[in-house]
């Protein structure tokens, strides 16, 4: 399949239709509401006023409830077209929302600039090696927790996906992950799982993980240079 998530959203048409195509139907609206609630709950331990990196921010769909809950949000996304939708949507938060175009897979900030980070609805579009690249970039943005959303691959969810496919529905996740793959993904991205939430497990494959950064191992102590006396 040629679908490329790094390029697909760099289109005004795609960006302007994004929310309507996914979240305008009744099930879409219910899902959207439950997902926003779940994401806000995942950040409940974070004091209000903290700044959250939303990567990728897309149209600002999930930044909105975080701003409404009293956080500041910095949106990062590879698509300026998607960010333009976010700017318009979030005009009422001029002092607490800002955004910029960034390729998160390629970005490796030398120090974390944000109190926490959100990574929603993107990892499942990439194969595992690129998921690790993306999530490593997100983890490096955060001083504390990273909230991740992913699609769980279980035999039940595979069955559900097959039924949806027979019914002519488009797959929502090209690269859902098993629990073993989630472990690899988090560990190789420098994260450790703390908590996990599901929306409605019989209806949705979406999972929400609150992870914390694994402190990098301390650098080995430098061997002291030997003095001339010690050498002799
Ligand atoms: C399905 S949207 C999800 C947006 C938002 N998180 C949400 O839940 O509504 C996926 C987003 O990932 C962005 N994206 C894809 N590749 C990216 C990359 N390498 N760096 C930053 N953003 C990327 C796309 O531009 C798009 O806005």
Q: In angstroms, how far is CA 183 from the centroid of its own chain?
A: 16
Q: In angstroms, how far is CA 190 from the centroid of its own chain?
A: 14
What is the SS3 assignment for 98?
strand
Exposed e or buried b per residue across 79-111, where buried means at least 16 C-beta atoms within 10 angstroms of its C-beta:
bebbbbbbbebbeebeebbebeebebbebeeee
Cα–ligand 1 centroid distance for 175 (angstroms): 15
Taking 60 as the threshold, does the pLDDT of residue 196 lie above it? yes
* Cβ atoms < 10 Å from Cβ of 75: 27
Per-residue pLDDT of 96-134, as tens digits, reads: 999 999 999 999 999 999 999 999 999 999 999 999 999
**Among the residues of the chain, which ranges form H helices?**
5-8, 12-23, 26-42, 63-68, 80-89, 128-139, 155-166, 179-188, 228-231
Q: How far apart are CA 152 and CA 124, in angstroms?
A: 9
Q: Which two tokens stand for residue 154?
A: 């279980």
Confirm if 183 and 214 have CB atoms less than 8 A apart: no
Cα–ligand 1 centroid distance for 144 (angstroms): 22
Ligand 1 atom closest to residue 6's alpha carbon, by position in its atom list = 16
pLDDT computed for residue 168 by the predictor? 63
Instruction: Tell me the mean pLDDT in the region 144-155.
Output: 91
Q: How confident is the model at residue 3 (pLDDT cuts 50, 70, 90)?
A: confident
Taking 60 as the threshold, does the pLDDT of residue 91 lie above it? yes
Cα–ligand 1 centroid distance for 201 (angstroms): 24
Taking 80 as the threshold, does the pLDDT of residue 191 lie above it? yes
Nearest protein CA to atom 4 of ligand 1, as residue: 58
Confirm if 145 and 211 have CB atoms less than 8 A apart: yes
Instruction: Tell me the mean pLDDT in the region 76-97.
Output: 98
Domains annotated on the chain, with CATH? 5-214 (3.40.50.150)
Nearest protein CA to atom 10 of ligand 1, as residue: 122
What is the pLDDT of the chain when averaged over all its residues?
89
Q: In angstroms, how far is CA 134 from the centroid of its own chain?
A: 9
Pocket test for ligand 1, best of 56, 65, 117, 129 (most atoms within 8 A of CB): 56
Ligand 1 atom closest to residue 35's alpha carbon, by position in its atom list = 8
Binding pocket residue ranges, ligand 1, CB within 6 Å: 5-6, 9, 56, 58, 61-62, 77-79, 82, 103-105, 120-122
Nearest protein CA to atom 5 of ligand 1, as residue: 58
pLDDT computed for residue 199 by the predictor? 83
Ligand 1 atom closest to residue 10's alpha carbon, by position in its atom list = 25
Nearest protein CA to atom 24 of ligand 1, as residue: 9
């Amino acid at each position: 399949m040629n679908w490329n998530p790094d390029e697909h959203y760099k289109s005004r048409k795609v960006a302007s239709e994004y929310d309507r195509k996914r979240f305008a139907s009744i099930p879409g609206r219910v899902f959207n509401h439950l997902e926003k609630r779940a994401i806000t709950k995942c950040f409940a331990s974070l004091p209000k006023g903290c700044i959250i990196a939303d990567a990728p921010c897309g149209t600002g769909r999930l930044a909105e409830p975080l701003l409404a809950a009293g956080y500041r949000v910095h949106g990062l996304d590879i698509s300026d077209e998607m960010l333009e939708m976010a700017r318009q949507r979030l005009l009422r938060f001029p002092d607490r929302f800002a955004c910029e175009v960034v390729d998160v897979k390629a970005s490796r900030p030398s120090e974390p600039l944000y109190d926490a980070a959100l990574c929603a609805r993107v990892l499942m579009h990439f194969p595992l090696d690129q998921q690790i690249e993306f999530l490593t970039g997100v983890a490096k943005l955060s001083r504390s927790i990273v909230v991740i959303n992913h699609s769980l691959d279980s035999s039940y969810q595979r069955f559900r996906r097959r039924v949806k496919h027979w019914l002519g529905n488009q797959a929502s996740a090209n690269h859902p992950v098993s629990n073993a793959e989630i472990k690899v993904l988090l560990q190789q991205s420098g994260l450790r799982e703390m908590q996990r939430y599901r929306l409605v497990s019989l209806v949705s494959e979406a999972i929400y993980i609150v992870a914390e950064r694994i402190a990098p191992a301390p650098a080995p102590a430098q061997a002291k240079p030997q003095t001339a006396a010690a050498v002799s």
